[in-house]
């Protein structure tokens, strides 16, 4: 019988609670405890998952083999460092950290201690994303749209780090080439951070990826279109559907005609699959697909997009100030 993997969850807010629930129901896993600075929240989640509550996560570490870290991003480096140095394997929610330097530090510590460091880019475990991998040949153009209904949760960060980083991670896993150019546009609309953004990533192998995200829509949409020689793929993450279109050679006297096929996938719990994957890597001592290095690459590009949008916005604000357009400047700077 496989050894029981003892796990804990650090941070049991909205998402951390789901981590705890999945571990509690997982075969071959024992949820030793959950930690949260909000003692009431820790007790609530511990009670519903049949485990122990902690208000200091460090007291949990001697008791576990691995943890999920689901605290605010600003604390990822601090908490992750303590866990890794204590010899604990870490499942870190995305983004891996707030800076590339912090990510590099966690990767270094994980390597030195031979610890597992997996990053929670959940869309990698979407059945449609997993199924499209064998269909890819040489992507030439990728277009991604991730549009979400406005929710207060997540608005404490830029939409690029909240939503776009998912598609950045997927694109980087598809296109195995360096990025040579990044062009961006974005603006705050209802928060003080960027709420709608576009990034055009140009790769050294000739592929271009155009990624658009928004968190101020009336509807939700998560789609990606991939154009490659002789074929077009349309992936709907929400519907778990892949549509492929290719030209079928025509018969005598008739032109080529499009051949369309669709494949749907049964609803699967991506978080459960992600955590099962993490536990298996802990058990087998194998490198995760979404490793610390993969999380670091996605963060690096996301931060470049954020920085470029900020610089573009500052240039616009400077021009408006010089032109005396204070009315429009106030409009571009939401106060809430």
What are the pLDDT digits (tens) for 33-60?
999 999 999 999 999 999 999 999 999 9
Structure letter (DSSP) for residue 197 = E
| 316 pLDDT higher than 70 | no
Write down the domain spans for the chain: 5-115, 124-268
Q: How many residues does the chain have?
A: 336
Which range is least confidently modeled, 86-90, 136-140, 190-194? 190-194
| pLDDT tens-digit series, residues 257-285 | 788 999 888 778 999 999 999 999 999 99
3-state secondary structure of 160: helix
- The mean pLDDT of 102-124, rounded to a whole number, is 97
pLDDT in tens, 289-314: 899 999 999 999 999 999 999 887 77
Question: What does the alpha-carbon distance between residue 311 and residue 316 come to, in Å, rounded to a whole number?
Answer: 9
Percent of the chain with pLDDT over 70: 91
Domain 5-115 indexed as CATH 3.40.50.720:
yes
CA angle 62, 64, 66 (to 5 degrees): 125
pLDDT at residue 178, as a whole number = 95
Q: 91-100, 147-156, 266-275, 313-322: which has the highest mean pLDDT?
A: 91-100
Q: Which residues have C-beta within 8 Å of that of residue 222, sequence separation ≥ 6? A: 145, 146, 147, 236, 237, 238
CB contact at 8 A, 73 and 95: yes
CATH fourth-level superfamily of 124-268: Dihydrodipicolinate Reductase; domain 2 (3.30.360.10)
**Beta carbons of 180 and 203 less than 8 angstroms apart:** yes
Instruction: Indicate the pTM of the whole model.
Output: 0.89
The whole-number average pLDDT for the span 231-256 is: 84
H-only helix segments in the chain: 14-24, 39-49, 76-85, 100-112, 127-132, 159, 165-174, 270-284, 292-322, 326-331
Cα distance between residue 36 and residue 24, in whole Å: 17
Which tokens sit at 336?
A: 């809430």
Interval 151-207: pLDDT, tens: 766 566 789 998 999 999 999 999 989 999 999 999 888 887 889 999 999 999 999
Q: Which residues of 216-238 are buried (b: 16+ CB within 10 A; e: fewer)?
A: eeeeeebbbbbbbeebbbbbbbe
Q: What proportion of the chain, given as a percentage, has pLDDT over 90?
A: 72
Tell me the two tokens of residue 19.
């981590």
Question: What pLDDT score was predicted for residue 8?
Answer: 98
Average pLDDT, the chain: 90
């Amino acid at each position: 019988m496989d050894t029981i993997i003892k796990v804990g969850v650090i941070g049991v807010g909205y998402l951390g609670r789901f981590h705890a629930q999945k571990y509690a129901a997982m075969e071959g896993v024992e949820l030793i405890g959950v930690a949260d600075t909000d003692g009431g929240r820790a007790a609530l989640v511990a009670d519903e998952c049949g485990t122990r509550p902690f208000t200091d996560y460090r007291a949990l570490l001697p008791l576990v083999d691995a943890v999920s870290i689901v605290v605010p991003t600003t604390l990822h480096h601090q908490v992750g460092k303590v866990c890794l140095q204590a010899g604990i394997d870490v499942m870190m929610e995305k983004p891996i950290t707030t800076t590339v330097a912090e990510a590099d530090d966690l990767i270094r510590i994980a390597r030195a201690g031979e610890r597992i460091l997996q990053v929670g880019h959940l869309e990698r475990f979407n059945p449609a994303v997993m199924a499209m991998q064998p269909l890819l040949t040489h992507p030439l153009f990728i277009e991604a749209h991730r549009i979400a209904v406005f929710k207060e949760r997540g608005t404490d960060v830029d939409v690029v780090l909240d939503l776009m980083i998912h598609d950045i991670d997927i694109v980087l896993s598809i296109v195995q080439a360096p990025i040579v150019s990044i062009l961006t546009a974005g603006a705050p609309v209802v928060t003080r951070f960027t709420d709608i953004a576009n990034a055009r990533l140009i790769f050294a192998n000739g592929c271009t990826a155009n990624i658009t995200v928004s968190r101020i829509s009336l509807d939700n949409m998560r789609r990606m279109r991939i154009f490659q020689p002789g074929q077009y793929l349309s992936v709907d993450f929400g519907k778990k559907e892949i549509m492929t279109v290719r030209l079928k050679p025509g018969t005598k006297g008739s032109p080529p005609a499009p051949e369309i096929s669709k494949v749907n996938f049964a609803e699967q719990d991506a978080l459960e699959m992600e955590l099962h994957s993490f536990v298996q890597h802990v058990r087998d001592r194998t490198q995760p697909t979404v490793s610390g290095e993969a999380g670091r690459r996605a963060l690096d590009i996301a931060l470049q997009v954020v920085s470029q949008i900020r610089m573009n916005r500052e240039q616009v604000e400077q021009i408006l100030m010089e032109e005396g357009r204070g009315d429009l400047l106030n409009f571009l700077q939401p106060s809430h």
